[in-house]
Amino acid sequence: MDQFKFTTLILMFIVTVLAALNTTPVNAAGFPVILSHSSFIDDIGYFHVVGEVKNAGDVSINSVKVTAIFYDADNTVLAQNFAYSLIDVILPGRKAPFEIVLMDKAASSKVDHYTLDIDFNEFPSGKPIGLKILSNNSYIDQTSFLHVTGGIENIADTTATNIRVVATFYDQQGNVVGCAYAYAEPKDLDPNQNASFDIILMYPSRTPYVKSYQLTAESSEYTLIPEFGTPMLYLVFLATILFVVILKRQL
């Protein structure tokens, strides 16, 4: 294959990639899925279900409501309760934890198993990126509470209000074993301002199970900048590199 044909093929590839990035799916939709969940009884005697929802669709979703139905060993319904994900607007590909608490000691002591169901709204407008985690660290205090501390910045052009930072805690296998959140201090930030946060997992019995954690955040106006580049950005990067190589070979 001569140089002209090779160059033409590469340029066609780049055009195809860039065109694909601008293509809107015909059947765009939000699609929440539960990645993992676990349960425990706290020191008071309440039954907890903690888990994580991922938006596997290509449209943002909000008001994600997870409902748990609790059964005893005879498959008799004991109770029902629900909770919303700790992040309100979940962009495509993003995750958010949830925690459902059965605040009935008698029923909690009889729970043998449970089922989970998801309800949600599509939110096509999504939420713009405007927050950035600057740093984070963790430690266990004298009461065996697990703390995650750090800093967050408003990188948007307008004020971010009611900033909440959320931590999802995982075991060695990557299953959710706990979640918690804290409001930034201060919780409202003007552009380029920073705040601190201190998230506390207040269940000492869960601390030994925690092997890692992940942070996300949200304000009334903005969501958190992603930690890693998306596959689409990687394709653009690859196409750019190929174009540069072609130009060098032409010189």
SS3 state of residue 208? helix
Half-sphere exposure of 18 (CA within 13 A, CB side): 10
Task: Using alpha carbons, select from 250, 239, 241 the residue that is nearest to residue 16.
Answer: 239
Nearest to 38 by CA among 120, 99, 109, 118: 99
> What is the pLDDT, as a whole number, of residue 9?
54
Place of tokens 């409902």: 67
Q: State both tokens at 152.
A: 């967050």
Answer yes or no: is 225 within a domain: no
Query: Which of residues 122, 157, 175 is at a domain's end?
Result: 122
Same domain, 42 and 88: yes
Q: How far apart are CA 9 and CA 11, in angstroms?
A: 5
Number of domains in the chain: 3
Look up residue 182 and give its two tokens. Answer: 């804290």
Q: Is residue 133 part of a domain?
A: yes
144 and 213 assigned to the same domain: yes
The pLDDT tens digits for 112-158 are 999 999 999 999 999 999 999 999 999 999 999 999 999 999 999 99
**Are residues 184 and 202 located together in one domain of the fold?**
yes
Q: Residue 30's pLDDT band (boundaries 50, 70, 90)?
A: confident
% of the chain residues with pLDDT over 70: 79
Q: Are residues 53 and 105 in the same domain?
A: yes
Q: Are 122 and 29 in contact (CB under 8 A)?
A: yes
pLDDT in tens, 103-114: 999 999 999 999
Domain of residue 240: give its range.
3-26+230-250
- Asked if residue 165 and residue 242 are part of one domain, the reply reads no
Beta bridge partners of 33: 54
